Amino acid sequence: MAKKPQIIVAGILDTKGNEIRFLAERVRAAGGEPSIMELTVGGTSAEFADIPVGKLAARVGRTSDELSTLDRAKAADIVMTGGRLLATDLLAQGKLDGIIAFGGSMGSSIAAHIMQGLPIGLPKVLLSTMTSGDVRPYVGTKDIAMVYPIAEVGLNKVTRKVLNNAAAAVVGMASAPAIEETAEKPLIGCMMFGVTTPTVLRAAKHFEERGYDVMINHAVGSGGRSMEELITDGYILGMLDITTHEVADELFGGVLGAGPDRLTAAGKKGIPQVVSVGGLDLLNFGARDTLPKKFEDEQHQPGRGIYVHNPTVTCAGVSVEEVEQLGRVIATKLNAATGPTVLCIPLKGWGAVDSIGSDPSLGWPGPEPGPIWWPDPEHPEWTLRNKPFIRGFASTFDFGKPNLDVIALDRHMNEPAFADVMAELLDEMLGGRWQKGSHHSRPDNVELTVQGLAPQGAPAV
């Protein structure tokens, strides 16, 4: 007889005891073996808890009686830390196949912290009244499935159906058939956003055709954070960091920032990385009415512009002043790299909406120029952002390090030739064939100096 999936059913029992007990019953009815984990922060234990809160507190050298003397935030820290340690131990002992929790804001925060400590692939279901809002603090970078439970408290003909479905979901996940074993392929990391899709897919195909798997993360903040974690944990062999706009959002107040450590893990790990400026021309916000007034007022300034991507996403162009700072920040991050690293700059536009005119193959149907396009007066086919970005980058970049290089091409981000260059560079790195200066002899290469873009005939760095 097959072993029943061992499922933790977690929640604050002094306010949601009836709901948690019902959830555990439905886990059992679905074929699982539930264990109720108490997340109560007031110190009072429920008799029916299989894992009372005192066991969680003991994991960090505290007692359940102490919890009642602390404010709820400090007590919650103890419960979530102890819960994560205990759950991790159960997993190591082969006694945990999935976890489900039900909570309001406090219970959700504690349960999510515990779930975030468990590995990707272990089923995690969080019934939370916070699901209809910003769920980033709860999901983090893990595969947590959140379900809106309709009501916070109470068992009735509506909530019983929702809880029953969620219980069946976590047991079903834990009972999923094993995946047929396949030969593990080396994994390439890649970041993508809508404005860089054509070049990302082409570069990814290059590696898939050569026997690699490619992990393409959506550059929406959580995507960048999870990629940095995957690199740190050793999953990623090489990095196609084509889409880096999360760095801009983090610096200038956009909603898709990935934290200060974005674009650092590959450098610390020493894995090969090819980096570009995909999406760095955009700052991302929510619906149009959420766009800060500053950007509305500045939309006619060079480079700023406004682009309504859909009803829930509005973008403002990165200004020429901001982009110079971005150049310095990107250079600082790349300077710390210990492995082969190349920055590739497409002078004719950094993404689909940074385009001189209509070209569906580049992601912009036109007929007018892209909404944040602003031409360089000296080179009207180039985006205005190149010069200030390169000026900031060149003032900070360590051109002398043998593992670092930069290449600027007379191409648009989404041109096939630009995707091919990035793929070829990483391919050379992975094969041990890369040398600094590779591809600089291309006819579309525009050399850089420590002052920025080289004048005609100037010697290359």
Would the pLDDT of 457 be above 60?
Answer: no
Would the pLDDT of 286 be above 80?
Answer: yes
Which SS3 state, helix, strand or coil, does residue 298 take? Answer: coil
* pLDDT value of position 136: 83
Bridge partner residues of 343 (DSSP): 275, 406
Report, in angstroms and rounded to the nearest whole number, the Rg of the chain calculated over CA atoms.
26
Domain 6-174: homologous superfamily in CATH: Uncharacterised protein family UPF0261, NN domain (3.40.50.12020)
Of 45-54, 165-174, 187-196, 220-229, minimum mean pLDDT range: 45-54
Res. 261 pLDDT band, cuts 50 70 90? very high
* pLDDT value of position 66: 85
320-365 pLDDT tens trace: 889 999 999 999 999 999 999 999 999 999 999 999 988 898 888 8
Res. 311 pLDDT band, cuts 50 70 90? confident
Would the pLDDT of 393 be above 60?
Answer: yes
CATH 2.60.40.10 fits 187-453, yes or no: no
Residues 6+ apart with CB under 8 A from 304: 295, 298, 316, 317, 319, 372
Taking the domains of the chain in order of start, what are their residue ranges?
6-174, 187-453
Mean pLDDT of 158-179: 93
* pLDDT value of position 144: 93
Bridge partner residues of 6 (DSSP): 33
Q: Which residue has the tokens 């682009």?
A: 307
Mean pLDDT of 229-238: 94
53-100 pLDDT tens trace: 999 999 999 988 888 888 888 889 999 999 999 999 999 999 999 999
* pLDDT value of position 47: 84
Would the pLDDT of 195 be above 50?
Answer: yes
Question: What is the per-residue burial (b if ≥16 Cβ within 10 Å, else e) of 89-108?
Answer: ebbeeeebbbbbbbbbebbb
**Phi/psi of residue 121, each to 5°?**
105, -25
Q: What is the model's pTM?
A: 0.81
Six-digit token string for 16: 């949601």
Tell me the C-alpha distance between 344 and 413, whole Å. Answer: 9
Would the pLDDT of 292 be above 50?
Answer: yes
Dihedral angle computed from the Cα positions of residues 236, 93, 5 and 129, in that order, rounded to the nearest 10 degrees:
-70
Residues 6+ apart with CB under 8 A from 201: 192
Does residue 308 contact residue 375 with C-beta atoms inside 8 Å?
no
Q: Could you tell me which of 199, 183, 182 has the C-alpha nearest to residue 191?
A: 199
Bridge partner residues of 446 (DSSP): 408
Tell me the C-alpha distance between 377 and 362, whole Å. Answer: 22
Would the pLDDT of 205 be above 50?
Answer: yes
Six-digit token string for 304: 């700023």
To the nearest whole number, what is the mean pLDDT of the chain?
A: 91
Tell me the C-alpha distance between 382 and 374, whole Å. Answer: 8
401-430 pLDDT tens trace: 999 999 999 999 999 999 999 999 999 999
Would the pLDDT of 458 be above 60?
Answer: no
Let me know if the fold of 6-174 is the same as that of 187-453: yes
* pLDDT value of position 67: 86
Res. 456 pLDDT band, cuts 50 70 90? very low
Does residue 196 contact residue 351 with C-beta atoms inside 8 Å?
yes
Residue 358 DSSP code: -
Tell me the C-alpha distance between 314 and 285, whole Å. Answer: 5
Tell me the C-alpha distance between 212 and 3, whole Å. Answer: 36
Handedness of CA 8, 11, 13, 17 (dihedral sign): negative
Q: How far is CA 207 from the centre of its chain?
A: 22
